[in-house]
Chains A and B, each alone.
Chain A
Amino acid sequence: MRAFEVVAARDSRHAVALLAEHAPSVKVLAGGTDLLVELKSSSHVPAVIIDISRARDLKTIAITDEGLSIGALVTHAEIMRSPIIGEMFPALVDAAHTIGAVQTRNLGTLGGNLVTGVPSMDSGPTLIALDARITIVGPAGRRQMPLAEFFLGPRKTVLKPDELLAEVVIPKENLGKPTQFLKFGLRRGQALALVNVAASLWVERGQVCVRPRIALGAVAPTVIRALKAEAYLEGRTITPEAMAEAGRISVGEAKPITDFRASAEYRRDLIAVLTKRALEGAYARALAKPVEA
């Protein structure tokens, strides 16, 4: 690896000060599972790395006035072990479980997975299907935005060089919303998604679909919502046929590519099947544990 300086941040405020001091030739180190790989292969390394891995204030998981707040530095392993998350959002636990392998999940963080911004990220779809918002801190203070607007393209986000992703918030109205995440990779471990899908929905009167969300990963430059499929399902009686149709509609909203992992045609088939199954899973969760919509 090329030489760089490492400065440790005590907390998020300190990290922002350090970013302002060292920008633009600076990068934030959280879990390192993406960053170190990048630094090893790149000839352009920043002069300074700000190590935030000990910033305790970014590691909390808590219910706040806004909803469920998950600190950017929470690791995938911590998401899997969190009783709050396990109770409210088993889909987030499932999504975390599909990332890398044990070693990756022990180091890798939720914020890092989002900031790296690869289209196949496994953290994105479930959070977007839950209308998650993010909090960014920087020299101008805090700002919030929908997670769906955070991504600009492969490995591109709206985050400026002197800003830090601080937390992800699942809004209060979606706490406990029935959700299902599914990933199709070529192996169970250490595999990127060919396609990943998350679906969430509320069920009224035992069978009417309300506020459905479908988010697809690895099939476009960023994680995308299948808006037409959502509109098709809104207010509709949930049937196996309706869920299958929503899967077919989702295919038209994605722009999958052909690469060495799979062809675009194969990915399109996967979108239809996985979307249908994710909806079925979310619906089954809704029936198993009715929550007031």
Chain B
Amino acid sequence: MANVTVNVNGETRTASVPPETTLLALLRDSFNLTGAKLGCDVGDCGACTVLVDGAAVNACLMLAVQADGRDVLTIEGLATMDRLHPIQKAFEDHGALQCGFCGPGVILSAKALLDESPDPTSQQIRDALAGNLCRCTGYTKMIAAIQFAARALRGEPVDKPA
């Protein structure tokens, strides 16, 4: 067994897991954080996207031991009890998700993008979402929601979408 200590969503968590455990399995099964989804399990769909030290990664392609001592942000770390994160709020207001399975990954990919590029072009957003597959709503509303959230996060006045 391997002992793994990770700072998850600002909280230090420890678990003892078999060495072959992925970061995704650690989050879902040991920490009960089921926001990151198990989709393809081979790094194609992006449903398991989380941020490790601020960078978007597929949690299914990282071993839990590789995350030892690092900062992990999952979708559970974005909202507070009172308030959705501005990206989540924008997705809700724009109807950017339908079934929602891809949502946690898409929103975290968007967060990584906006942390680095507060005013991204539509092409930069498309590039940032290339590793996140959505099979119901499509991407148009997501892109609009991310542009909307970017304005909100920059502190610019935003009108609620019609």
Indicate which residue in B2, B66, B131 contacts A190 across the interface (CB closer than 8 Å).
B131
Indicate which residue in A40, A51, A53, A103 contacts B131 across the interface (CB closer than 8 Å).
A103
Contact B56 A106 (CB under 8 A): yes
Q: A51-B63, A51-B66 are in contact. Are A104 and B19 (CB under 8 A)?
A: no
Contact B20 A3 (CB under 8 A): yes
Contact B63 A104 (CB under 8 A): no
In the complex the two chains form, what is the Cα distance from A39 to B131 in whole Å?
Answer: 21
The segment from B7-15, B39-47, B78-86, B90-98 found at the interface with A is: B39-47
- Chain B residues within 8 Å of A32, by CB: 61-63, 66
Least distance between B63 CB and chain A CB atoms (Å) = 6
Q: Range of interface residues on chain A?
A: 20 to 34
Contact B56 A189 (CB under 8 A): no
Contact bitstring A161-182, B, C-beta under 8 A = 1, else 0: 0000000000000000000000
Contact bitstring A26-64, B, C-beta under 8 A = 1, else 0: 000100110011011100000001010100000000000
Q: Is B109 an interface residue (CB 8 A)?
A: yes
Q: A1-B20, A190-B130 are in contact. Are A103 and B56 (CB under 8 A)?
A: yes
Q: A36-B60, A103-B43 are in contact. Are A8 and B65 (CB under 8 A)?
A: yes
Contact B66 A53 (CB under 8 A): yes
Contact A2 B56 (CB under 8 A): no
The 3 closest A-B pairs by CB, nearest first: A189-B130, A101-B131, A6-B19
Q: List 11 A-B contacts (CB under 8 A).
A: A1-B22, A2-B20, A4-B19, A6-B19, A101-B130, A104-B131, A106-B55, A107-B61, A189-B127, A189-B131, A190-B130
